[in-house]
Structure 1
Amino acid sequence: MFEQDSQEWPEHVWDLRHRLTEAGSAWQPAKDASGLERRVDETVARAAEAVIATALAEAATHLRAAWAAAYGFHPDPEKAYSQAIKAAEAAVIPVTIPKDGSPTLGKALKHMQDTNEQTTRWTTVLHDKNGAPASAEPIIGLIKLLWEGQRDRHAGGPTTKPTTQEAAEAAVHTAIALVQWFQSGAVVKAPRTRTGAAVERDV
């Protein structure tokens, strides 16, 4: 056995990764060498790692926990989904409802939906076909999908359902996308003009 802080540890982790890959195994060592995790497409895994590495501490902590619960050797779909929600909250709430004393992703969603219909609207750093800041409606849709899709949050209701592995994985990747969008400043609250269109900004 080798201690994780020994000089031999990285070499043996690499050797195990190589052997599992060569054998066509569905498993690989976790990036932190804490155990095995289910193999994920390398491009997808690297993109997720990049977001986690640059995310603020709270969001990063929840994303790591969500990833481990979804892809670890003993997957826990309910935990993965719950941690995905928390990761999204850590990124979305400071941008949308930073002064709320008891914030949730549901409250942030309602705020974005309400302001989108009144004097302000949410836009992105992307532009639409007219050259104006593109609406953040698709991003709001992702938040809605993530929040409403967690059907195991409360027991006993008519729509209560256990979280499947597939749903948990989708939730984790949705949260990763939301963390990247909100913590990079790609989602912007813009005032409307008198005609209802958002004021165009140079971005």
Structure 2
Amino acid sequence: MQETTPTAAKLLAQAWYHAYRPDPDPTTAYREAVRAVEEVACPLVLPNNHKATLGTVIAHLRDAVAKWETVLFGTGAAPGGPEPVQELMSRLWTGQVSRHGGSKNSCDQDQAEAEAAVHAAVLLVQWLSTDVLSRKSEGTGT
């Protein structure tokens, strides 16, 4: 089991604080939520890529479905694939419209987006830190 790094925990705490403080800062909350997930996802999924981002993790999981499994059962009580994790990461990543300036779609996050992002990040960090998502062992024929 991979333990949550202090940095991921700190980033989640910051995301929560910025989302729920008396004068919320939704854009900062969303950004810290994404960073918390990256802190755990990048070294787990792409340990040799020191420039990995959540986007590269999502692309890898999408392109290497057969190499990953989750403890969440799939059809026929077989281990499920990485799709639930990849989909939630993807929604978090693509929903961060404040990430790039200068784009016609760039704008600050709103409160509802920030709260959803923070809660998604908590779930993803927990899943990624407790082997809900794991690389299939070499001996499984995949």
Q: Report the aligned-residue RMSD.
A: 1.9
Letter of the 1:182 counterpart:
L
**TM-score, length basis structure 1:** 0.64
Task: Tell me whether 1:93 sits opposite 2:39 in the alignment.
Answer: no
Counterparts of 1:82 and 1:133 in 2: how far apart (Å)?
32
Query: How many residues matched?
Result: 139
Which residue of the partner structure matches residue 45 of structure 1?
none
The structure whose residues are more often helix, as a share, is: 2
Aligned counterpart, 2:5? 56
2:54 counterpart of 1:105? yes
Distance 2:28 2:43 in 1: 23
Structure 1 runs, 4 residues or longer, greater than 4 Å off: none
Q: Which has the larger radius of gyration?
A: 1
Cα offsets for 1:63-82 (capped at 9, x unmatched): 00000000011210111001
What is the percentage of aligned positions where both structures have the same residue?
A: 36
Larger RCO (CA under 8 A, 6+ residues apart): 2
Cα pair distance change 1:115/1:192, threshold 3 Å? farther
Gaps of 5+ in 1: 1-53, 194-198
Q: 2:73 aligns with which of 127, 146, 158?
A: 127
Consecutive unaligned residues of structure 2, counting only runs of 5 or more, are none
> Structure 2 CA distance, aligned partners of 1:55 and 1:72?
24
For residue 101 of structure 1, report the CA deviation from its aligned partner: 2.2
- SS at 2:86's partner residue? helix
**How far did 1:161 drift?**
2.4
| Per-residue deviation, residues 17-41 of structure 1 (Å, max 9, x unmatched) | xxxxxxxxxxxxxxxxxxxxxxxxx
CA–CA separation in structure 2 for the residues paired with 1:82 and 1:124: 26
Which residue number in structure 2 is paired with residue 145 of structure 1? 91
Within 2, Cα distance between the matches of 1:73 and 1:55? 28
Q: Which one of the candidate residues 93, 110, 116 is aligned to 1:164?
A: 110
- Within 1, Cα distance between the matches of 2:137 and 2:109? 39
Match of 1:13 in 2: none
- Using the TM superposition, name which of 153-162 and 142-151 deviates more: 153-162
In structure 2, distance between residues paired with 1:159 and 1:75:
22
Q: Deviations over 1:56-108 (max 9, x none)?
A: 21110000000000001121011100100110001111110111121211111
* Aligned mates of 2:138, 2:104 — CA distance in 1: 40
Q: Normalising by structure 2, report the TM-score.
A: 0.90
**What pairs with 1:24-39 in structure 2 (closer than 5 Å)?**
none
Q: Secondary structure at the match of 1:130?
A: helix
